[in-house]
């Protein structure tokens, strides 16, 4: 009996230890579809690994929002405990980027900063529209110089802020490039040079002097007789205009008074004086429904960008 009870205790203890070890590992596994989209809360940060403070998230949301207002670029900062069951953190980042559609549609100007705390891995996924200003080599440089040195010191707030600010600085060059392309080049200023007129030009510009004519007495022309002034003043036309204006004013006042009386009668005698139907225009609702929001800050999702699978990664 004692031997059987000891075997049961050993089996029970083994199962308990296995559940303690296995279940936390399984609970850390997260799929792309299970990562909350921060745009549904009008933010840019999702901290599933719980490594960022509230103050850091506030700063990240502020600087990314300012960038998005300037040139439409979008940055998503995501922390997860693990990227399983994806094959690699890179595969997880690419799938999450395209699943959310980070960046504006057609411009593909989005960036995903993914941090996997369990795998000690940082991944930067970039949209296909910003490869010229943020190539893979520059993304790796930002990770190695701004993020991982602080992560090795367990300063996740400082590393995430520094990496995001570096990405913002790079993406701000999009605004500078657009402004430089829209600026028209100034024409060079040519110093004023005096042009000497030629002798032929001087001779052509010289006025010929008229010959002197002896003074002759000028006879004054006779003053023509003053023609009578013809006026078009017609008193009948003025009276006609006056009576037309008066009739219009009297008719308008009468129509207002009758409308008031009809409204009063329709209250007391609705059978004989039914209320007049009123038509309401739905132009305001159609204007609201057709309004176009250029900023993705309306919430719900990102701008619909696409990733070409570019970016870089690094461990700490």
- 127, 308 contact by CB (below 8 A): yes
| Cα 88 from Cα 110, distance rounded (Å) | 21
Ordered per-residue pLDDT tens for the chain, 316 residues: 454 555 555 555 555 444 444 444 444 678 999 999 999 999 999 999 999 999 999 999 999 999 999 999 999 999 999 998 899 999 999 999 999 999 999 999 999 999 999 999 999 999 999 999 999 999 999 999 999 999 999 999 999 999 999 999 999 987 655 455 555 455 555 555 554 555 554 555 554 444 554 555 545 555 555 544 445 556 787 888 888 999 999 999 998 998 888 888 777 776 666 665 543 333 333 333 333 323 444 346 787 777 767 778 888 8
| Cα 273 from Cα 154, distance rounded (Å) | 82
Q: What are the domain boundaries of the chain?
A: 25-177+303-315
Tell me how crowded residue 301 is: count the other CB atoms within 10 A of its CB. Answer: 13
Quick one: pLDDT at residue 99? Answer: 94
Tell me the per-residue pLDDT of 206-245, one tens digit each, with 9 for 90 and over: 544 445 545 555 455 555 555 444 455 567 878 888 889 9
| Cα 259 from Cα 256, distance rounded (Å) | 5
- 127, 110 contact by CB (below 8 A): yes
**Spatial CA neighbour of 96 closest among 32, 187, 17:** 32
- 52, 157 contact by CB (below 8 A): yes
Quick one: pLDDT at residue 302? Answer: 80
25-177+303-315: CATH topology: Diaminopimelate Epimerase; Chain A, domain 1 (3.10.310)
Quick one: pLDDT at residue 212? Answer: 52
Our separate counts of H helices and E strands in the chain read 10, 5
Largest CA distance in the chain: 162
Quick one: pLDDT at residue 259? Answer: 86
Per DSSP, the three-state class of 46 is: strand
Quick one: pLDDT at residue 315? Answer: 85
Quick one: pLDDT at residue 93? Answer: 95
Q: Which residues pair with 45 in a beta bridge?
A: 77
């Amino acid at each position: 009996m004692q031997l059987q009870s000891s075997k049961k205790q050993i089996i029970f203890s083994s199962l308990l230890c296995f559940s303690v070890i296995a279940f936390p590992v399984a609970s850390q596994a997260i799929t792309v579809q299970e990562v909350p989209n921060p745009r549904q809360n009008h933010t840019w940060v999702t901290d599933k690994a719980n490594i960022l403070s509230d103050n850091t998230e506030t700063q990240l949301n502020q600087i990314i929002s300012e960038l998005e207002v300037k040139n439409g670029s979008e940055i998503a900062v995501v922390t997860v405990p693990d990227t399983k069951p994806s094959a690699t953190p890179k595969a997880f980042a690419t799938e999450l980027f395209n699943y959310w559609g980070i960046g504006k549609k057609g411009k593909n100007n989005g960036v995903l900063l993914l941090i996997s705390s369990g795998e000690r891995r940082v991944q930067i996924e970039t949209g296909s529209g910003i490869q010229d200003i943020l190539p893979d080599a520059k993304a790796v440089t930002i990770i190695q110089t701004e993020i991982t040195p602080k992560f090795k010191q367990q300063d996740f707030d400082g590393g995430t802020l520094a990496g995001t600010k570096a990405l913002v600085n790079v993406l701000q060059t999009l605004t500078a490039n657009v402004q430089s392309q829209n600026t028209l080049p100034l024409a060079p200023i040519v110093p004023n040079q005096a042009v000497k007129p030629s002798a032929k030009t001087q001779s052509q510009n010289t006025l010929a002097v008229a010959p002197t004519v002896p003074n002759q007495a000028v006879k004054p022309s006779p003053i023509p007789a003053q023609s009578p002034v013809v006026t078009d003043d017609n008193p009948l036309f003025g009276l006609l205009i006056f009576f037309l204006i008066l009739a219009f004013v009297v008719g308008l006042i009468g129509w207002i008074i009758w409308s008031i009386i009809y409204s009063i009668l329709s209250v007391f005698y609705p059978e004989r004086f039914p209320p007049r139907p009123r038509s309401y225009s739905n132009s305001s609702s159609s204007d609201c429904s057709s309004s176009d929001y250029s900023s993705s800050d309306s919430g719900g999702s990102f701008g619909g960008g696409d990733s070409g699978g570019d970016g870089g990664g690094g461990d700490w």
